[in-house]
């Protein structure tokens, strides 16, 4: 049984599950589990994000509601992707960080840097260019 075959954008490593969905022109990554260096899950997340950005994705929303743990390696992947997208005219935003993940983001002062939302609809709406009407 091959584990690589039709699962192009879904990954599962011991600590992290990544589901990818698209809503209009925003790519949403639903993260479940933990993103840490010891089990390779941060590397998995980095691989997914690099492939998406290389493929032209410019609007990313990381849904963290089911992410239970993140360490400095996971934070590094998120910040690196945020910076890369900003340089390319794109954006990365966070949805529903809680518990230990929220604590880590607070310690690294990232909640003041990376836009963070508690509501998915508000997060999605925030990606629309300011001052541009829907009829343009």
pLDDT for the residue numbered 129: 65
Q: Is residue 133 part of a domain?
A: no
Region 25-35 average pLDDT? 95
Count CB-CB contacts under 10 A for residue 115.
Answer: 16
Q: Is residue 135 part of a domain?
A: no
Extract the tokens encoding 55: 């493929």
Q: Is residue 58 part of a domain?
A: yes
Instruction: Supply the angle between the helices 41-54 and 72-87 in degrees, to the nearest 10.
Output: 10
Q: Is residue 61 part of a domain?
A: yes
Burial 5-20 (b: 16+ CB within 10 A, else e): eeeeeebebebbbbeb
Tally the domains of the chain.
1
Q: Is residue 59 part of a domain?
A: yes
Domain extent at residue 39: 11-126
Greatest extent of the chain over all pairs of C-alpha atoms, in Å: 52
- Residue 88: give its domain's CATH number: 3.30.750.24
Whole-model pTM: value is 0.84
pLDDT for the residue numbered 6: 31
- The 10s digit of each residue's pLDDT in 72-110 is 999 999 999 999 999 999 999 999 999 999 999 999 999
Q: Is residue 16 part of a domain?
A: yes
- The 10s digit of each residue's pLDDT in 10-29 is 444 458 999 999 999 999 99
pLDDT for the residue numbered 5: 31
Q: Is residue 112 part of a domain?
A: yes
Q: Is the pLDDT of residue 136 over 70?
A: no
pLDDT for the residue numbered 39: 83
């Amino acid at each position: 049984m091959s584990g690589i075959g039709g699962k192009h954008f879904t990954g599962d490593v011991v600590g992290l599950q990544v589901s990818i969905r698209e809503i209009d022109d925003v790519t949403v990554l639903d993260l479940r589990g933990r993103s840490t260096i010891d089990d390779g899950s941060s590397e998995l997340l980095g691989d997914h994000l690099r492939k998406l950005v290389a493929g032209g994705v410019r609007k990313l929303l990381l849904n963290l509601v089911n992410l239970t743990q993140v360490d400095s390696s996971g934070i590094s992947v998120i910040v690196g992707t945020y910076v890369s997208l900003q340089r390319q005219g794109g954006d990365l935003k966070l949805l529903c960080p809680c518990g230990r993940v929220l604590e880590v983001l607070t310690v690294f002062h990232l909640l003041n840097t990376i836009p963070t939302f508690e509501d998915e609809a508000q997060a999605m709406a925030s990606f629309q260019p300011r001052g541009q009407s829907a009829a343009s």
